[in-house]
Amino acid sequence: MIDNPKTGMTLIVKTITRLTVGLILLFGIYIILHGHLSPGGGFAGGVIVALSFVHLMLAFGKDVAISKVSKNLASNLESIGALMFLSIALLGFLGGSFFLNILPKGTPFNLFSAGIIPLCNIAIGIKVGVGLFAIFLTLVIVEKSK
Amino acid sequence: MKAIDIIPLFVIIPLAAAFLISLVGRFIKRSSEVIIFISSLALLGLSLYARFLLNSAPGKILVYKIGGWAPPFGICMVMDGLSSFMLVTVNLIAFFVAVYSLSYMNQYTDKPKFFTLFSLMVCGMNGVIITGDLFNLFVFLEIASIASYALVAFGTEAEELEASFKYAIMGSVASAFIFIGIAFLYSFTSTLNMADMARILAYKQNAWVIPFAGVLFLMGFGLKSSLVPFHAWLPDAHPSAPAPISAMLSGVLIKTLGVYSLVRVFFNIIGSTHGYLGILMFLGVVSMLVGVVLALSQWDLKRLLAYHSISQIGYVVLGIGLGTPLGVLGGLFHLFNHSVFKSLLFLNSGSVDYAAGTRDLKETGGLGKLMPVTAKTNLAASMAIAGIPPFNGFFSKTIIIIACLQKGFTGYAICAVIGSILTLSSFMKVQRFVFLGEVKDKLKNIKEAPFAMVFSTVCLAIICVLGGLMLLPSLRFFLDDAVAVVLKGTSYAGVVLEAASK
Amino acid sequence: MTLYFLCLMLFCVGLYGVLRKRNLVKIIVGLGIMEYAMNLFFVLLGYRFDGRAPIVARDQNILNMVDPLPQALVLTSIVIGLAVTALIISIAIRIYEKYGTFDITKIKKLKG
């Protein structure tokens, strides 16, 4: 990561951020994936994923954060997340009714169980995470309008 | 796919259209316009098909269980007479407004974002109408409200931002009241399904929770439908929005989020008694008079139309609050008619704004010679709103007045007639100042509006003229089924639960 | 019973903030307090006596749980509140650019 001493916070904050940003992102993905086994799921995990990007922006300044996830990428990923959720729900039509749980359900308390619920959690996690970061970008980068 | 599978499509199609437009609208030119046209045409066709499908369904009701879970455990979508009536109204107006905005929005910079928000608003309104679960109604109500807050501020001028802020704060306070009402009812009946709640509330009649939740719902839904103590956001929000969004807000949003939800909760869940109906009638009459009196002194065209919206919603609530078959028929018929002619009036004001660049009545004049189609459709809509035969407004207002006299409320009937006379005078002022008289110098070179705008206004004017035909015996089923659902009251629960168990 | 009453008092505090404060940002903070109070009220409705957390783990057998339905609904409501707050704050930022003040007695271009 570029270490420009003029932007962002002090050296101590930047060093700790380099160590912890990956861990926060991994923790968020863990909460999204285990949404059907422990509390959390799509919304809460998505917020933690967004917070990792916000942490990056706070410590290093907005240019580094925008180079990782730009505004166009955020907007496109958000729409893709919503369309993924809608198409998973439409797959239920193959089984009978809208939003039916059609994938095999497996044994309880395993990671690969409970049908379509982990897939829905992943779609919501992508959408909420990227969407919250896009809101933050829009509020911080205020273009001067007349 | 069975025929009942079309019910979730009313929510799926606008949601998919919104996110598709958001994804590809920036890359492929004019793709957003094609997608919105196809989706709104599909929704209009589906709603008309669903209306005819309902004629052959047993008990005139169709219940769709999402995910196969039977109520009270699952969320169900209910299509009965009232839902299909509202669906046809909403999707008809949404189609014509979408066609109109294909050429009106050329003045603004960001068309894909506009169509995304528009499609989300239509998805929210369709969801409110067809859902059978109380919390699901709250979620879809919030989707439609948030989309409308963003659409009112679309032009980002100073006045539009101020109006949008006021509207957003007051709308959020109303949603908070609705949420606390739902919380009280959930703690009392421990279920969220509308039919199940109606069945349980029929046993436990005398508890303090039910009138308390009823008053909270009246405050929340009353603000969304701009009844009189809660109307202060409407004269600022509706003029500031772009013209097609004003037509959607005034034409369908205040009716689905406000009047339809109020009718569902008060007639089908809580059960209507004389106390509630008396309050609804009183608020309706006060809205009628306050709206039309405050409109007499306006010189801004869209602000005048916004005050008349408050007045006409008063007519609808008065009709529904009467509780007799004739009164509810008049109220629901006036709801449909008001959607049609108020949307037409707002679209015409948008055409005048597009061509002449101003909304002030003192600045325009003599546009009748330069824009003949707009002048004629405006004349049709003005005569409809004032209640002149043979336009559709005459029939619905007459039915409401006769129903008032039948039940013995002669005071309310006289107020309705006075309101109608003042509405006529207000619209004669509009017609004279905008379309008759001398043409001012700087407006000499304006032309008629583009084809898409003219197409929408002419079609809506034709519906205005032919609207009275809906009272013919062969077409009466459209309104009669809706009236039957409202008057059935809490026995709606038995019909829904029986249809869901098949 | 006193818990529910205190929640509704917090709701009224937020409502006072929305009605009587003159600064735009203070109105938004009042709206936020109202949202917290109503979410807290809804979650507290689900409490059952001697109830435990409504999570089924692999080798535990929990007899009485608190009601899990309000917890799922409040999750949705919190996200809705977040979206409304984000929208209103961005509108307030643009109002400051256009009018130059946050005072609502000076933001009065629409009258009549």
> Which has the closest alpha carbon to B44: B463, B450, B349?
B463
> Which has the closest alpha carbon to A30: A21, A40, A20?
A40
Contact C46, C69 (CB under 8 A): yes
Asked, for residue A125, whether it belongs to a domain, the answer is yes
Neighbours of chain B (3+ CB pairs under 8 A): A, C
Mean pLDDT of chain B: 88
Question: Model confidence over B60-69: pLDDT tens digits?
Answer: 888 888 877 8
The whole-number pLDDT of residue C85 equals 94
- The complex's ipTM works out to 0.95
Rg (CA), chain B: 22
Nearest to C75 among A43, A135, A145 (CB): A43
Q: Which of B19, B24, B77, B123 to mutate to test the interface with A (most CBs of A within 10 A)?
A: B19
Which residue does chain C place closest to A108, by CA atoms?
A: C58
Q: Which of B37-41, B155-159, C59-63 has the highest mean pLDDT?
A: B37-41
Per cent of chain A over pLDDT 90 is: 36
Asked, for residue B421, whether it belongs to a domain, the answer is yes
- Mean pLDDT for the stretch of residues B265-271: 86
Mean pLDDT of chain C: 88
Contact B103, B150 (CB under 8 A): no
* Distance from the B403 Cα atom to the nearest Cα atom in chain C, whole angstroms: 35
Sign of the four-CA dihedral B165, B168, B172, B174: positive
Contact B67 A75 (CB under 8 A): no
* Distance from the A117 Cα atom to the nearest Cα atom in chain B, whole angstroms: 12
Under the banding of pLDDT at 50, 70 and 90, the label for residue A51 is very high
Rg (CA), chain C: 20
The pTM score is 0.94
Residue B421: helix, strand or coil by DSSP?
helix
Contact A145 C90 (CB under 8 A): no
The whole-number pLDDT of residue A146 equals 46
Tell me, yes or no, if A107 comes closer than 8 A to chain C by beta carbon: no
Nearest to C89 among A38, A109, A139 (CB): A139
Question: Model confidence over B45-65: pLDDT tens digits?
Answer: 999 999 888 888 777 888 888
The whole-number pLDDT of residue A60 equals 86
Q: Give CA–CA dist B417/A45, Å, rounded.
A: 59
Asked, for residue B446, whether it belongs to a domain, the answer is yes
Which residue does chain A place closest to B20, by CA atoms?
A: A79
Contact B384, B391 (CB under 8 A): yes
Token digits of residue B21: 């437009």
Q: Give CA–CA dist B344/B292, Å, rounded.
A: 19
Contact A106, A112 (CB under 8 A): yes
Under the banding of pLDDT at 50, 70 and 90, the label for residue B150 is very high
Asked, for residue A145, whether it belongs to a domain, the answer is no
Rg (CA), chain A: 18
Q: Are strands B76-79 and B62-65 parallel, antiparallel or unpaired?
A: antiparallel
Q: pLDDT at residue A49 above 90?
A: yes
Instruction: Mention the CATH class of domain C2-49+64-99.
Output: mainly alpha
Range of the domain at A57: 11-140
Range of the domain at B350: 293-471
Nearest to B15 among A86, A98, A145 (CB): A86
- Mean pLDDT for the stretch of residues B383-392: 87
- Mean pLDDT for the stretch of residues B450-457: 87
Q: At what angle do helices B274-295 and B410-435 cross, to 10 degrees?
A: 30
Nearest to A145 among C89, C90, C97 (CB): C97
Contact C45 B156 (CB under 8 A): no
Q: pLDDT at residue A144 above 60?
A: no
Contact B238, B312 (CB under 8 A): no
**The total number of structural domains that make up chain A:** 1
Residues of B in contact with A75 (CB under 8 A): 22
The whole-number pLDDT of residue C66 equals 85
Q: Which of A86-100, A129-143, C14-28 has the highest mean pLDDT?
A: C14-28
Q: Give CA–CA dist B497/B200, Å, rounded.
A: 13
Q: Give CA–CA dist B122/B102, Å, rounded.
A: 16
Chains A, C: CB contacts under 8 A, how many? Answer: 21
Asked, for residue B176, whether it belongs to a domain, the answer is no
Which is more confidently placed, B276 or A23?
A23
**The total number of structural domains that make up chain B:** 1
- Mean pLDDT for the stretch of residues B124-139: 93
Asked, for residue A93, whether it belongs to a domain, the answer is yes
Q: pLDDT at residue B387 above 50?
A: yes
* Distance from the A144 Cα atom to the nearest Cα atom in chain C, whole angstroms: 9
Asked, for residue B112, whether it belongs to a domain, the answer is no
Q: Give CA–CA dist C61/A86, Å, rounded.
A: 36
Question: Model confidence over A85-117: pLDDT tens digits?
Answer: 999 888 877 666 677 777 777 777 777 777 788
Contact A97 B16 (CB under 8 A): no
Q: Give CA–CA dist B36/B44, Å, rounded.
A: 12
Which is more confidently placed, B300 or C62?
B300
Asked, for residue A44, whether it belongs to a domain, the answer is yes
The DSSP H or E segment spanning B64 is strand B62-65
B33-36 long-range contacts (CB < 8 A, ≥24 apart) are B33/B102, B33/B111, B33/B115, B35/B115, B36/B98, B36/B102, B36/B115, B36/B118, B36/B119
Residue B77: helix, strand or coil by DSSP?
strand
Neighbours of chain A (3+ CB pairs under 8 A): B, C
* Distance from the B66 Cα atom to the nearest Cα atom in chain A, whole angstroms: 6
Asked, for residue B466, whether it belongs to a domain, the answer is yes
Q: pLDDT at residue B186 above 80?
A: yes
What are the distances in angstroms from CA B325 to CA B130, B155, B332, B404, B489? Answer: 23, 44, 11, 12, 12
Q: Which of A135, A141, A143 to mutate to test the interface with C (most CBs of C within 10 A)?
A: A135
Tell me, yes or no, if A76 comes closer than 8 A to chain B by beta carbon: yes
Helices marked H in B54-157 — which ranges?
A: 81-104, 111-130, 134-152
Tell me, yes or no, if A16 comes closer than 8 A to chain B by beta carbon: no
Tell me, yes or no, if B406 comes closer than 8 A to chain C by beta carbon: no
Asked, for residue A109, whether it belongs to a domain, the answer is yes
First-to-last alpha carbon distance for chain A, in angstroms, is 36
